Structure 1
Amino acid sequence: MSVSLDPVNIADKLSLIDELWTQRKIAGLNDYEIKLAKLKGEFVWHTHPETDELFVVVSGRLTIRLREGDVVLGPGELYVVPRGVEHCPVAEEETAVMLVEPVGTLNTGDTGGPMTRAAEPL
């Protein structure tokens, strides 16, 4: 097995992302994907019945709407949405996030629809 000696520069990877709400895989960790995305506007309400979802805000501001209330994150802050909890990410300004999820987790969870996209390698 070959080992890469090159670190992943998050800012460099983010500069390659043009499309909003499209997750891009930048690394793997066991059976998990480390993904980046740029967000702006409101996503769809959805759940992930089989997994938690980790959001880390790199830049901007992210509101994660929950039925129980909102969680507001700024740069350097993270929040874990527990499995099965309905949520809706909202970014009033362009916001860059890092997500950690099991391989194959769809961005729209069990909701589906036109915004559903599998993570693409970057």
Structure 2
Amino acid sequence: MKSINLKEKYDLVNGHWHPHQIGVVDNMQVLLAKLKGEFVWHSHDNEDELFQVVKGTLHMQFRDRTEIVQQGEIIIVPKGIEHCPITKNDEEVHVMLFEKLSTAHTGNVADEKTKTDYPEI
């Protein structure tokens, strides 16, 4: 049991859209990621996702609207809801994610941005 310095951990995150695991709480993983540009439209059939914006502004696109998530705010995407995170104006956004260990990065969608491993940092 040690405290985790998020700034130090974000310095270890390589690339965009590639979550890195900083811990596990029961069957939930805590992930850090740097986002830039547009991700992939996808959903998770059996898992909810929680995004906390640590730095910047995240635009969470849904098919019927876009929710703007500011630094210090969270958004919970319920299972089965199609979504696509995006950043604007070439901004790099830092997020912390809370999701089940079983959650596939891009759900059932295979894309060049899909990651199957989350490095532990």
Q: TM-score, normalised by structure 1?
A: 0.93
Instruction: Name the CA distance, whole Å, in 2 between partners of 1:111 and 1:13.
Output: 28
CA distance, structure 2, for counterparts of residue 104 and residue 113 of structure 1: 18
Give the residue type in structure 1 aligned to 2:96. M
Paired residues, number: 118
Q: Which has the higher strand share?
A: 1
Identity %: 38
Matched, 1:120 2:116: no
Structure 2 spans left out of the alignment, 5+ residues: none
Q: d(CA) in 2 for partners of 1:102 and 1:112?
A: 19
Among 97, 100, 103, the residue aligned to 2:98: 100
Deviations 1:47-95 (A, max 9, x none): 0001111000000110000012001011110000010000000012100
The CA distance in 1 between the partners of 2:54 and 2:106, in whole Å, is 21
Opposite residue 109 of structure 2, the aligned amino acid is T
Q: Which amino acid aligns with 1:63?
A: H
TM-score normalised by the chain length of structure 2? 0.93
Shift of 1:11: 1.1
For the Cα contact (< 8 Å) 2:40–2:111, is it kept in 1?
no
Q: 1:115 and 1:40 mapped to 2: Cα distance?
A: 12
User: Which aligned segments of 4 or more residues in structure 1 are displaced greater than 6 angstroms?
Assistant: none
The answer for the alignment partner of 1:111 in structure 2 is 109
Q: Which moved more, 1:16-25 or 1:41-50?
A: 16-25
- The amino acid across from 1:57 in the alignment is V
Matches within 5 A, 1:30-49: 30-49=26-45
RMSD over aligned CA atoms reads: 0.9
Query: Which residue of 64, 67, 75 corresponds with 1:68?
Result: 64
Where 1:13 maps in the other structure, the secondary structure is helix
